[in-house]
Structures are given as C-alpha cells and as structure tokens.
Amino acid sequence: MTIVVDPNGPKLASDPNNPVPEGGRVGFFRSADGVRLRYAIWPKGVGPHRGTVCLLQGRTEFIEKYFETIADFRSRGFGVATFDWRGQGGSERLIGNPKLGYVDKFSDYWSDLKSFHSEILLPDCPPPYYLVAHSMGGLAALFAGVNDRLMFERIFLSSPMVGLESPPFGTAGAARILSAMSFLGLGRLPLRRPQDKAASKMAFADNPLTGDPERFARSIAVLKAHPELEIGAPTIQWTGAALAAMAAAQRDDFPEKLRVPLLILAAARDRVVWTPATEELGLRLRTGRHMVVPGAQHELFMETDAIRAQVFAAFDAFITEQS
C-alpha cells in the first residue's frame, strides 16, 4: 500500500477485505466557516486521463465505504477526490454527542463543497471535473448545479434525497414544525426512523440499503473496527434542515434553475428515499434525465455486481455523450 500522509494527520482505515486504494493522499482542510474536514484524493489508474470524479457521500457515510467504487472510477481513467461531510466520518463533529447527525442548515454542505473545490480540487486535481453524489450528497449536488453551473462539467446522482414517503404535514409543513422545535431549543435531540438506525446494528435480512451480503458485511466490519466513523440517528435540527432543502427541490421552478447536464439514477426498491419524488423531478429536468434501476435498493454503489454493472454502464454512457 502506498499512501502519502502527514504522520500526525488523518489516516484512512484499511482492512484486508477493504484495502486503501494505492497512490492516494489524505489530509484535512477547513471549510469557509472553519470546520475541519477530512479528504482524500487519488490519481487515475490506467489509460489516458479523463478527468476527476468528485465523489459526495450520503448521510452517515465515510471515505472508507467507497474504496471499491473509487477503484472502479480510477480503472476508467478518472482521478477521484472525496471528503467527509461536516459532522460525520473522519471530519469534525458539530455537537457534544458525536453519534448524532447534525447540521445547522443544509446550505452548510454547499459551503463544504465550495471549500473543497477551491482548496483541494482546483489546485491538486486535473480537470475536467465530474460530480458523482449519493443520497444526501445528491441533494447537495443539485443545489451545487443551481448555485454554480461552471463548477462541474456533469452531475451523476445515485438515489438522491429529494423526497421522503408521506412525511406528516407534507415536506414543507414538516420542515416548518421541526424548525419551530429547534427554535425552542430541541434541535439537538435525536429523531429516529426505523431505517435510520446505526448501520452496525442492522442485520442483512432486513437492511434497507443493499441486496449484496458481502458488501453489506464489509461496511459493517469497517464500522465495528472503527466506531469513531459511525453516526446514527439524525437530530431534529438536521431533519428540519434536510426537509426544507427537499421542499425547495420539489418546487415547480427548481428544475429550470439546473443548467448542468445531469443524470439521476433511482432505486426501484428504495426504502430510504422516495423514488416517486425522484422520478417527478427527473421528468421535469431541462438539462438532464433519470432512470430507475430495477431490483435495486438505496445504495446503488454497494449493490450486487449485476446492479453495479448497470450503474457504471449508465455513468460511462453519460460521460461519453459529450465526446
């Protein structure tokens, strides 16, 4: 294994079943508001250089979970740059309980991405840049496509968090209620759904994430060996902020604000986010389209070989469309 690190800086957890891809670099950078975030970058693998994939994780996730996927992108000629969002993985926690998911406001994730783009991606990674994002990262990526159409050449989304099934009082109404609860000082309390339980407590038989037992077991093994990477339930503040962002993405005028070529993949058997909301957004896109992956659960990059083959075939076709 070859990885360049500051001996006193961050590390990437390695395991025989989940080795760190060779040739990378790991470090910390700070967001514009001073939050310390862990990042890692890798050069392309074989063949001519095709650009850099900026990989955004979902809620609760961490760099180590994507080692296999990073290797897949590198084998296609892409460098990969990724980081842990504030409040999770190897990045700085924001409240006293490090196991709870928290963010002050959803736009803080945009601040993280902007800082990563300027501090790490532009100086250290060769263009062109492609944004690949999963779940919560997918919602953040949509706002990136609205806020700065020149930052990325194309955006590829996996099961983006654009809606939940039947939230009480509707998405916007639930967001307002939770915002009021946060205003009353309850924002740091957990708000649990069954599917939001800590991953290390899940059994494969009833997990809502993937149909692949080996990839499921691999992710659980990393968390059990490195429990500091894990977070569990979201807080009331996080949930209210996320629902407000989802409500914004569901507005009629949102799709026309997206000016970056975009491909959205939804999972047909998703129990974490609501696939019909993703389809509705996909049908209204002006610069993109969507497809639903049959038989897939929420984590498309952690699914079976057959499903992952479909995901990467869609990615390959989408990227080469511009050629």
Q: Which of 243, 245, 237 is nearest to 189 (CA)?
A: 237
Report pLDDT for 2. Answer: 31
Query: Which pLDDT tens digit goes with each residue over 72-121?
Result: 999 999 999 999 999 999 999 999 999 999 999 999 999 999 999 999 99
Q: Which of 16, 21, 18 is nearest to 1 (CA)?
A: 21
Mean pLDDT of the chain: 93
Mean pLDDT across 33-61: 95
User: Alpha-carbon distance 93 to 110, whole Å?
Assistant: 17
Query: Which pLDDT tens digit goes with each residue over 219-261?
Result: 999 999 999 999 999 999 999 999 999 999 999 999 999 999 9
Q: Which residues contact 36 (CB under 8 A, 6 or more apart)?
A: 28, 29, 30, 91, 92
User: What is the domain partition of the chain in residue ranges?
Assistant: 3-165+252-320
Query: Which pLDDT tens digit goes with each residue over 118-133?
Result: 999 999 999 999 999 9
Q: What is the CATH T-level fold of the domain 3-165+252-320, as seen in this structure? A: Rossmann fold (3.40.50)
Given a cut of 70, whether residue 323 has pLDDT beyond it is: no
CA dihedral of 298, 69, 295, 159, whole degrees rounded to 10: 30
Query: Which pLDDT tens digit goes with each residue over 10-44?
Result: 889 988 899 999 999 999 999 999 999 999 999 99
Confidence band, pLDDT 50/70/90 cuts, at residue 322: low
Element (DSSP H or E) covering residue 304: none
User: Alpha-carbon distance 28 to 10, whole Å?
Assistant: 7
